[in-house]
Amino acid sequence: MQTVESKSEKIFQRACEVLPGGISRNTVFRDPHPDYVQSASGCYITDVDGITRIDFANNMASLIHGHAHPAIVEAVIEQLKKGTAYTMATEIETQFAELLCNRVKSFERVRFMNSGTEAVMAMIKLSRAFTGKPKIAKAEGAYHGTYDFAEVSQTASPENWGDIDSPNSVANTKGTPKSVLDEVVIFPYNDIERTLSILNRNADKLACVIIDPVPHRVGLVKGEQEYIEAIYDWTRKNNSLLVFDEVVTFRVGYGGAQEMYPVSPDLTALGKIIGGGFPVGALAGRADIMEMMNPRFGKPAFPHSGTFSANPITMTAGYTAMKLFDKEAVTNLNSLTQKAIQQIQEAIKIADVPVSITGAGSMLRIHLKANPPKTYREAYQSKETQKVLKNLLDYLYYKEHLLLVNTCTCMFSTAITQKEVDILSDAFLRAFKELREQIISIQKEVAV
């Protein structure tokens, strides 16, 4: 009997004629085709075929208040009537910068842009301009956007990552110039001795050391306090900058993930939740460093602009969203996420599967191994593990109607309640029981 094509399948067939792979961002692709959204509200999202799912991905961690929050929608509509972008400054960008600077002690100045990738790119360029040094150092496996230098060793594998004492700089995109790889120093995350040894070998050339305090791709593991302090001290002694990528992790605490540490970064790249659902990026940090972007007294050391940077729609949405994400909201959301972790751990115990959980704040990630990974190499997934993880995600998506990030990660929003947490943990229990033998088989493969 011939199956009836879904609306999503028909749209995808059209999309393949005009978009590479039928999509504009690889993260939304599903085999055999992505599903297309009809509408979304709060933590629920409905596709064109009428299926409603609970959204635990929240557009890759960017929707801190879920979809179509009434206060954000109302504020944006009011601004929309006044215009969307001008070749003039707006007061709302000043208000938003004031809010952020009052929120985080390391933010003395802020410059807005349009994406997290752009924010990291600007952070690297500003670090070079300030220190006069060419190289950067970053953790193996850490994702910092799609800038050539930032994406080096983002997807390093056992076939090419080299010795742990001196990891290779591995291209992520075919055709990346060797000159780019030569300017990027790679170190193993949370390994003080090896990291400092590697930094020391490049001390006279390093403009900055980039740290994501809870790097998703490394395994969503927190940077240990001793580790962060050691790198901070090293940068003080070697005329280098400690810079944080908090594009994802700014949701972890009221003042970002950096408030977990007694030391502060010199610069911080922001994005995602500070846009209130719209494209955004920002660079914040020490006034003397940010001064390198100041055009008031002639050409600055780092000239920076952008057609839609600080556009009033994004600024209005972001300002509204961050006002709503106050200390109480942060505490409540983090507590709810912790409750979810506890309930999923109980499901793991009942199903008797070798599964572990990592995370921080309002983020959690499931690992198909008994012990949570502490490094990128421990978190690395074999093809067999990737296959089982896909089966788990497909079960949750198609059978339980739950949408997660494709690493089996949940990024909570304030729209989620205990009701959705209960649904999530119950769904995981059924999924673990259904896929138990597959999950156990991975452990046998590793043991061999």
Over residues 18-44, the pLDDT tens digits come to 999 999 999 999 999 999 999 999 999
Task: Dig out the tokens for 334 from the structure.
Answer: 């983090």
DSSP state of 397: I
Over residues 400-439, the pLDDT tens digits come to 999 999 999 999 999 999 999 999 999 999 999 999 999 9
Over residues 375-400, the pLDDT tens digits come to 999 999 999 999 999 999 999 999 99
Q: Can you give the residue ranges of every domain in the chain?
A: 35-64+327-447, 70-324
143 is catalytic: yes
Question: What is the percent of the chain with per-residue pLDDT over 70, rounded to a whole number?
Answer: 98
DSSP state of 406: T
Q: Rounded CA gap, 385 and 379, in Å? A: 11
Q: How confident is the model at residue 448 (pLDDT cuts 50, 70, 90)?
A: very low
Give CATH for domain 35-64+327-447: 3.90.1150.10
Catalytic residue among 191, 272, 380, 395: 272
Between 3 and 290, the more confident residue is 290
Give the pLDDT score at 443.
Answer: 80
Each as own residue / partner, the long-range contacts of residues 29-37 (CB below 8 Å, 24 or more positions apart, any chain) are 30/397, 33/8, 33/9, 34/8, 35/8, 36/7, 36/8, 36/11, 36/12
pLDDT at 256 over 90: yes
Catalytic residue among 212, 245, 380, 395: 245
Catalytic residue among 143, 227, 376, 395: 143
Distance of alpha carbon 141 from its chain centroid, rounded?
13
Q: How confident is the model at residue 17 (pLDDT cuts 50, 70, 90)?
A: very high
Q: How confident is the model at residue 3 (pLDDT cuts 50, 70, 90)?
A: low
Can you point out the beta strands (E) in 246-308?
267-271, 281-285
Over residues 56-81, the pLDDT tens digits come to 999 999 999 999 999 999 999 999 99
Number of other CB atoms surrounding residue 319 within 10 Å: 23
Q: How confident is the model at residue 1 (pLDDT cuts 50, 70, 90)?
A: very low
pLDDT at 217 over 50: yes
Report the chain's mean pLDDT, rounded to a whole number: 97
**Against a cut of 0.95, is the pTM above it?**
yes
Pick the CATH number of 70-324 from 3.40.190.10, 3.30.1330.100, 3.30.1490.20, 3.40.640.10: 3.40.640.10
